[in-house]
């Protein structure tokens, strides 16, 4: 019996070195006159945002700049952005950045057309109307927020990262030009790259995986293991940057349609409560959670093991799983991801709160098994 699937992807996607210049053709064809630009002050200061704005200048499209986005954007920032959008008379949102500006822009777009408070949209497909038009220019190789129906906003009152999964949040155009990613800091490159690896691994292990998403994810895994160390070692390695763009595109499409799991459930809590970088949280937790998942679905790791070089004919499913987990740990160490929270100065954590909120996270049902609170605490304890 054939099971029907719905595959979500933005209608137009530009990918590869130099593709940013093609954005102008799309803007002109759509007839947009003024863009509301959502970004952060770092990208403005470093001149990366200006490279995108130069494209608008070249086609005589005006813009209003909102550069107040911070890492792990809060509901307050989203509503501040909406207020400025309403005053700007813009007919399109243009997001520039990694996951935080992309998520913030998507949130603004949803409440622009649907009203209410952003907290109203936590969960699955809560909006009624399609988002205000968004063009998403990505500047990091990791989150894939520019491609997906997911966005994450921090509710500062509850100290919880709200996960929104909403088909109406898909952008009209995604732009992934590796030229915007050269010379990014090693720590950022490593964290976002490991975030992409987490997307790929979780989208394979989840029960929602199927042939199309698995194939996409395996392609991402292969590219990340080969090219992430190069991108971290040499920020100007344009081939490595371009291959990482391909990797995040594949991983994004995979998890956008298969789902994620408990690595993200736990990582969201560290980000929401302690404002930790999302990619670092994922990287720390990935081998720990997958070692538990392997007790339930060891067969899911066989193709991953083969993709990254194991002679799987000589291995059991359990041995394939352990090989994969060890290689994840090796890669994480190679690119400089810390192993524990204490290494980054976080020594006092509320394990009860982290565990309770992890179990309520929207990604939790996508895991091969649902841990208990006690099991979740034990997993958190491994990164203290």
Question: Which residue has 């290494």 as its token pair?
Answer: 343
Q: Is the confidence at residue 119, as pLDDT, over 90?
A: yes
Please, which pLDDT band fits residue 142 given cuts at 50, 70 and 90? confident
Residues 76, 225: one domain? no
What CATH number should be reported for the domain holding residue 54? Answer: 3.40.50.1970
State the total domains in the chain: 2
Q: Is the confidence at residue 347, as pLDDT, over 90?
A: no
290 closest CA partner among 259, 323, 247: 323
Q: pLDDT, tens digit, for every residue of 182-200?
A: 989 999 999 999 999 999 9
Residues 69, 137: one domain? yes
**Higher-confidence residue: 184 or 335?**
335
Residues 199, 291: one domain? yes
Question: Which stretch, 68-72, 182-186, 302-306, has highest mean pLDDT?
Answer: 302-306
| Residue 297 belongs to some domain of the structure | yes
Residues 138, 199: one domain? no
Q: Is the confidence at residue 162, as pLDDT, over 90?
A: yes
pLDDT, mean of residues 79-98: 97
Q: Which of the listed residues 180, 205, 234 is the one where a domain comes to its end?
A: 180
- Per-residue confidence (pLDDT) for residue 76, from 0 to 100: 97
Residues 176, 202: one domain? no
Percent share of the chain, pLDDT over 90: 95
Please, which pLDDT band fits residue 102 given cuts at 50, 70 and 90? very high
| Residue 329 belongs to some domain of the structure | yes
Residues 174, 158: one domain? yes
Residues 197, 310: one domain? yes
Q: Is the confidence at residue 1, as pLDDT, over 70?
A: no
| Residue 158 belongs to some domain of the structure | yes
Q: Which of the listed residues 127, 151, 180 is the one where a domain comes to its end?
A: 180
Q: Which of the listed residues 115, 150, 180 is the one where a domain comes to its end?
A: 180
| Residue 6 belongs to some domain of the structure | no
What CATH number should be reported for the domain holding residue 210? Answer: 1.20.1090.10
- Per-residue confidence (pLDDT) for residue 133, from 0 to 100: 98
The span from the CA of 373 to the CA of 356, in Å, is: 6
pLDDT, mean of residues 289-302: 98
Q: pLDDT, tens digit, for every residue of 234-287?
A: 999 999 999 999 999 999 999 999 999 999 999 999 998 998 999 999 999 999
Which structural domain range is residue 230 located in? 186-381
pLDDT, mean of residues 47-54: 97
Q: Is the confidence at residue 2, as pLDDT, over 70?
A: no
Residues 356, 277: one domain? yes
Q: What's the mean per-residue pLDDT of the chain?
A: 96
């Amino acid at each position: 019996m054939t099971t029907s699937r719905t595959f979500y992807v933005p209608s137009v996607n530009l990918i590869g070195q130099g593709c940013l210049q093609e954005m102008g053709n799309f803007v002109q064809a759509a007839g947009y006159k003024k863009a509301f630009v959502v970004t952060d002050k770092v990208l403005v200061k470093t001149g990366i945002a200006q490279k995108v704005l130069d494209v608008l200048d070249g086609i005589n499209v005006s813009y209003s700049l909102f550069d107040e986005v911070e890492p792990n954007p809060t509901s307050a920032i989203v509503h501040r952005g909406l207020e400025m959008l309403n005053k700007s008379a813009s007919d399109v949102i243009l997001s520039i950045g990694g996951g935080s500006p992309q998520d913030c822009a998507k949130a603004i777009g949803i409440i622009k057309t649907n009203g209410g408070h952003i907290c109203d949209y936590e969960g699955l497909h809560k909006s009624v109307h399609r988002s205000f038009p968004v063009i998403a220019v990505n500047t990091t190789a990791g989150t894939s927020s520019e491609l997906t129906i997911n966005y994450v906003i921090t509710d500062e009152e509850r100290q919880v990262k709200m996960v929104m999964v909403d088909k109406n949040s898909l952008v009209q155009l995604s732009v992934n030009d590796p030229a915007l990613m050269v010379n990014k800091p090693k720590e950022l490159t490593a964290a976002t790259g490991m975030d992409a690896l987490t997307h790929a691994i979780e989208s394979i292990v989840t029960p929602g995986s199927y042939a199309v998403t698995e194939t996409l994810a395996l392609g991402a895994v292969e590219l990340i293991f080969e090219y992430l160390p190069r991108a971290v070692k040499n920020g100007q390695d344009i081939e490595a940057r371009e291959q990482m763009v391909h990797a995040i595109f594949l991983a994004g499409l995979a998890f956008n349609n298969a789902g994620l799991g408990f690595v993200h459930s736990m990582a969201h809590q560290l980000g929401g409560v302690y404002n930790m970088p999302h990619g670092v949280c994922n990287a720390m937790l990935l081998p720990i959670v997958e070692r538990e998942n392997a007790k339930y679905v060891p067969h899911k790791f066989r193709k991953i093991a083969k993709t990254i070089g194991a002679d799987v004919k000589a291995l059991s499913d359990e041995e394939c799983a352990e090989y994969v987990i060890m290689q994840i740990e090796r890669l994480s160490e190679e690119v400089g991801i810390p192993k524990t929270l204490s290494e980054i100065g976080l020594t006092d954590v509320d394990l009860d709160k982290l565990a309770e909120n992890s179990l309520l996270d929207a990604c939790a049902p996508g895991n091969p098994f649902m841990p208990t609170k006690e099991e979740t605490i034990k997993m958190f304890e491994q990164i203290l």
